[in-house]
């Protein structure tokens, strides 16, 4: 039952937002009593926290699978972008923004976890790119991986990139191209160009 509550809550939070969804809404959607939810989660904050880190782990597992299967670090980044976009496609409520506003402590812990995961993953990917001659060997791997995280989180700021002007897919696509153009070698650019051409057609 605990897993069913987590799954249904995840779906509702992503669609309607962490703030809007009540424990009553979840109970009604599932056809169970609110008491049943409280057996597993002492309050809504605990449920929000569990859902947040469940989602984080799900996305991390998916990214790990992509990293293992990809042919090269350029393809890997594009595959991760597609995977993340697929996960975000049901978001109608800017869940990260709501989390930051209404559950700041959970958001702070999430951001640290996201940074640790992405920093490690991007560093490995950058080193792989250098070793295979796709990325310039003069780049500072630690610095670039931190910049990449900063940019990827920065484009989600609706105050700077309003949704009506910049759809998330456009932002992720443009930022990824911007990031890769700065670090690829001529050999890497040939592969990058294939993805740019494919995405424009």
User: For residue 38, is it within any domain?
Assistant: no
What does the pLDDT look like over 124-136, one tens digit per residue? 999 999 999 999 9
Question: What pLDDT is recorded for position 105?
Answer: 96
| Phi, psi angle pair for 63, to nearest 5° | -65, -40
Q: How many other C-beta atoms can be found within 10 angstroms of the C-beta atom of residue 74?
A: 25
**Total domains present in the chain:** 1
Number of other residues whose CB lies within 10 A of the CB of residue 143: 9
Domain region containing 92: 53-200
Contact 77, 176 (CB under 8 A): yes
Q: What are the C-alpha distances in Å from 108 to residues 48, 66, 78, 104, 123?
A: 14, 27, 27, 6, 22
For the segment 134-171, what is each residue's pLDDT rounded down to a tens digit? 999 999 999 999 999 999 989 988 889 998 999 888 99
Predicted confidence (pLDDT) per residue in 8-66, tens digit: 999 999 888 899 899 999 999 999 999 999 999 999 999 999 999 999 999 999 999 99
Q: Does residue 13 lie within any of the structural domains?
A: no
CA distances from residue 131 to 13, 75, 135, 139, 185 in whole angstroms, order as listed? 42, 15, 8, 12, 12
Global pTM exceeds 0.75: yes
**Residue 59 maps to a domain:** yes
Q: In CATH, what number is assigned to the domain containing residue 182? A: 1.10.357.10
Q: Tell me, yes or no, whether 131 lies in a domain.
A: yes
Separation in Å, CA 27 to CA 6, 15, 84: 12, 16, 29
Q: Which residues contact 134 (CB under 8 A, 6 or more apart)?
A: 72, 73, 74, 184, 185, 187, 188, 191
CA–CA dist 97, 12 (Å, integer) = 16
6 lies in a domain?
A: no
Is pLDDT at 111 greater than 60 in this prediction? yes
- Pair of tokens at residue 155: 């484009």
In-domain check, residue 34: no
Is there a domain that residue 21 lies in?
A: no
Asked if 126 and 47 count as a contact pair (C-beta separation under 8 A), the reply is no
Instruction: Extract the tokens encoding 68.
Output: 């293992």
User: Within a domain: residue 5?
Assistant: no
């Amino acid at each position: 039952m605990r897993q069913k509550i987590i799954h249904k809550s995840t779906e509702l939070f992503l669609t309607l937002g962490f703030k809007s969804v009540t424990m009553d809404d979840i109970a009604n959607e599932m056809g169970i009593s609110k008491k049943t939810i409280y057996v597993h989660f002492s309050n809504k904050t605990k449920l929000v926290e569990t859902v947040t880190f469940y989602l984080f782990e799900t996305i991390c597992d998916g990214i790990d699978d992509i990293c293992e299967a990809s042919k090269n670090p350029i393809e890997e980044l594009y595959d991760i972008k597609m995977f993340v976009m697929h996960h975000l496609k049901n978001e109608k409520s800017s869940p990260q923004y709501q989390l930051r506003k209404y559950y700041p402590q959970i958001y702070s812990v999430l951001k640290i976890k996201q940074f640790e995961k992405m920093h490690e993953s991007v560093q490995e990917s950058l080193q792989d790119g250098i070793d295979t001659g796709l990325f310039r060997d003069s780049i500072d791997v630690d610095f670039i991986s931190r910049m990449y995280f900063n940019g990827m989180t920065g484009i989600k700021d609706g105050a700077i990139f309003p949704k009506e002007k910049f759809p998330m897919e456009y932002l992720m696509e443009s930022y990824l191209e911007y990031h890769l153009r700065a670090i690829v070698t001529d050999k890497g650019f040939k592969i990058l160009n294939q993805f740019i051409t494919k995405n424009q057609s």
